[in-house]
Every structure is written in C-alpha cells, then in structure tokens.
Amino acid sequence: MKATVLVSGAAGYIGSVATEILLSEGYKIIVIDDLSTGHEKSLFDGVTFYKSTIGDSKTLKKIFSENKIDIVLHIAGAAIVSESVTNPLKYFDINFCQAQNMLDEMICFNVKKIVFSSTCAIYGIPKDSDIPIKEETETNPINPYGESKLLFENTLKWYKENHGIDFISLRYFNVAGATKKRGEKHNPETHLIPLILKAAHDKNYELMLFGNDYPTKDGTAIRDYIHVIDLNYAHLKAIETLLQNKSHNNFYNLGYGHGYSVLEIVNAAKEVLQKEINYKIGKRREGDAPVLIANATKIRTDLNWTPKHDNIYEIIKSASEFYKNFIGY
C-alpha cells in the first residue's frame, strides 16, 4: 500500500476522478465531503468517508486521529463564478476560512503536505501580451471566486514560511471530459460541454453563447480545455513530488497551452455527436476574459507531467459517453 491521501471534495466531478486514479495507483483514500454539490454515489468502494464540511474542526480532529494521513489533496470548494458575485461571503467562507481551518488542523496533527485545486480565475483578464499565461503573470482576480482562491494560495505561502507546510497549488484552466466511471454532474451546470450535450438532446433547451464580439477569430471567447484524466495525473505527479521531498515550484498552471473558441467547441461537438445543436448568441457576461490559455511549460519540465489526452474530440466523446451511461442521454 502506498501513502494515505485525504481527499476533500471526492464526491464532486474532479475529486471523484482523482479518487479513481489514486486508487488505481495503490493509494489509500480518506474522504471529507459535505455533499453540498457532490454525490454520495460518486464515492468509490474502499474509501473511508466522513460526511462533513472542511470547516468542522471536530470531524477533522477525528479524521486525523483515526487515520495516519500522509498528504491532503484539497479539491473541495465552491466554484460557480456567477454565484460568487451574488454571494461573495459563501466563497470567502468555504474557499478561504474553512480551508484555513483545515490547514490549522493539519498542523496540529503534523500533516504538512498539501496539493491545492486553484484556478486560472486568479489571473482575471490578462493583457494580450500575457497570453499564454505564465505563473509569474500578475494575479488580478475580478470576482470573489478568484479572489477567495488567491487568498488561500497566499495563505499557503505564509503557512509554508511559518509552519513548514509544503504545498503545490495547481491552477486549473477549463477542466472537461470524463472517465468511463466518473464525470461532470454539476447542478446547476455552468460548463460549456455538458450544456452542449443537453442542447443536443433536448430541442427545447436553449443553449446561450455569451458574446460574439470578442477580439478573437470568430468573436467568441477562447479557453484552454484540459481532459480531467490528464489533470488528475498532474495531481499524482504533485503528490509524488511532495511525498518524495523533491524540489519544486509552489504554483503550476494546468492546461494544454492552446485554446478553442466557444463556436469551435460547438462545431466539434456537432461532429462528434452527429447532431444539430441550436444556440443563441447573448451578450458578453461581465468579467469574462476574451482569451485564457495556459503556459504550462513549468509543470511539464519540473514535474515531468506529460498529457496524453490533448484532443478536443476525445474530450467531448468521453463526456458524451458518460452522459449516455449515467445521465441517460
């Protein structure tokens, strides 16, 4: 048996795939999840599950006393940008205060390694000259979601300095796709590919594309879509690096280094699904950047991360197969 990993948020999209891959690699998995957006059914057999928020010190003390945790993979979080604008306190509470509470309990139990799910939202709207975005690019979040994640990144820096916490923060770009067993089941769903699948299935559902007047080739916004399997092999690299006390940077962008426009994704989905997809063009959403593409050279060289699923057709196909098998269309 390899090390024991405490995964927060393992009942959610990314956390369930993380668990699947870590289990297949021989890690022992302990889970903390309050099921606020996750699904109990998404948990795998063989994990030890504590149903709780990460803000609950009592449960955390129980977890750290009952299990010898080697490292924490902190994925749990609130992650809907629009909701963060209308309810910022929820985002500062979950993504910052509760996460800091978990760090404090880790220190009490001498658990000093953590991999954190951060986001490209910490960069805000980068200058054209900053695309593809490097880790050194100025962080300038424009919504409470990005701000709360950046606050926690900064907290990690100070906890490293003051408490010897060793951490890797992975700044995900747009995560998409599925494995044969686990995929995206958000409610409400705000991500493009699942919404396209819904539109392909339900002719009455009106897919809204936000803005076709961006300074891009077809006027729609461009994003860097990364397959959830490649993303989770990056978690694995980060965990191995920390467990082996290898040298590393603290922050890594995680994307493929190239992007697709919203219309390109719709057209790729039409090809994969062989179905018409009706959509309407709406106004730009406030705070949406025209282009977000990662420069992920650092994680490739430092952690030897080699993605294997950089293919938008494969990503859409995997999501569609997951939907067929688990959502029913």
Ligand X SMILES: NC(=O)c1ccc[n+]([C@@H]2O[C@H](COP(=O)([O-])OP(=O)(O)OC[C@H]3O[C@@H](n4cnc5c(N)ncnc54)[C@H](O)[C@@H]3O)[C@@H](O)[C@H]2O)c1
- What's the CA gap between 135 and 251, in Å, rounded? 7
Q: Which of residues 224-283 bind ligand X (CB under 6 A)?
A: none
Cα distances (angstroms) measured from residue 290 to each of 81, 208, 281: 16, 17, 15
Return all residues near 33 (Cβ < 8 A) that are at least 6 apart: 8, 9, 10, 11, 12, 15, 43, 49, 50, 51, 52, 76
Q: Identify which of residues 18 and 242 has a Cβ nearer to ligand X in the complex.
A: 18
Out of 19, 139, 174, 241, name the contact with ligand X by CB under 6 A.
174
* 33 belongs to the binding site for ligand X (CB under 6 A): yes
- Residue holding tokens 């593409």? 293
Site string for ligand X, 127-166 (x = CB under 6 A): ----------------------------------------
- Residue holding tokens 């191995």? 240
Return all residues near 8 (Cβ < 8 A) that are at least 6 apart: 15, 31, 32, 33, 54, 72, 73, 74, 75, 76, 102
* 36 belongs to the binding site for ligand X (CB under 6 A): yes
Minimum distance, C-beta of residue 89 to ligand X, in the bound complex (Å): 13
Considering only the stretches 84-92, 150-158, 169-177, 301-309, report the one whose residues sit in contact with ligand X under the rule CB under 6 A: 169-177
Reading the block at residue 216, the tokens are: 């891009």
User: Cα angle at 214 between 213 and 217, to 5 degrees?
Assistant: 100
Minimum distance, C-beta of residue 302 to ligand X, in the bound complex (Å): 20
- 329 catalytic residue (yes or no): no
Considering only the stretches 31-39, 237-245, 282-290, 308-316, report the one whose residues sit in contact with ligand X under the rule CB under 6 A: 31-39
Q: What is the contact surface with ligand X in residues (CB under 6 A)?
A: 8-9, 11-15, 32-38, 53-55, 75-79, 94, 98, 117, 119, 172, 174-175, 186
Q: List active site positions.
A: 145
